């Protein structure tokens, strides 16, 4: 179960990285209409949306790393 959640976290993290790249390289008028922040009259980019997507991706990667790491269990003598 933890392995499946870790894989899902990695997949969603990669999607968030792609979203961050799109938000930082595409003006608001060029975003797909279903993206939050789409505005056909705005020429600027959405830096905060991209930053939020990047932070979420990093948090998901950290979760996947800890979820799949070694379990150090103290052995009782």
pLDDT tens digits along 9-49: 999 999 999 999 999 999 888 888 888 888 888 888 889 99
76 in a domain, yes or no?
no
Confidence category of residue 59, pLDDT binned at 50, 70, 90: very high
Alpha-carbon separation of residue 34 from 8, 9, 30, 38 (angstroms):
23, 23, 11, 7
Nearest to 52 by CA among 30, 19, 14, 25: 19
75 in a domain, yes or no?
no
Q: Which element (helix H / strand E) includes 8?
A: helix 2-25
39 in a domain, yes or no?
yes
What is the average pLDDT across 55-65?
96
Q: In total, how many domains does the chain have?
A: 1
5 in a domain, yes or no?
no
What is the average pLDDT across 51-70?
93
73 in a domain, yes or no?
no
For residue 74, the model assigns a pLDDT of 62
Look up the domain containing 60 and give its range: 13-67
């Amino acid at each position: 179960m933890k392995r499946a959640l870790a894989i899902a976290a990695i997949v969603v993290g990669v999607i968030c990285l792609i979203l961050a790249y799109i938000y930082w390289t595409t003006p608001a008028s060029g975003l797909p209409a279903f993206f939050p922040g789409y505005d056909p009259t705005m020429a600027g980019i959405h830096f905060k949306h991209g930053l939020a997507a990047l932070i979420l991706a990093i948090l998901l990667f950290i979760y996947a790393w800890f979820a799949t790491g070694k379990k150090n269990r103290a052995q009782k003598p």
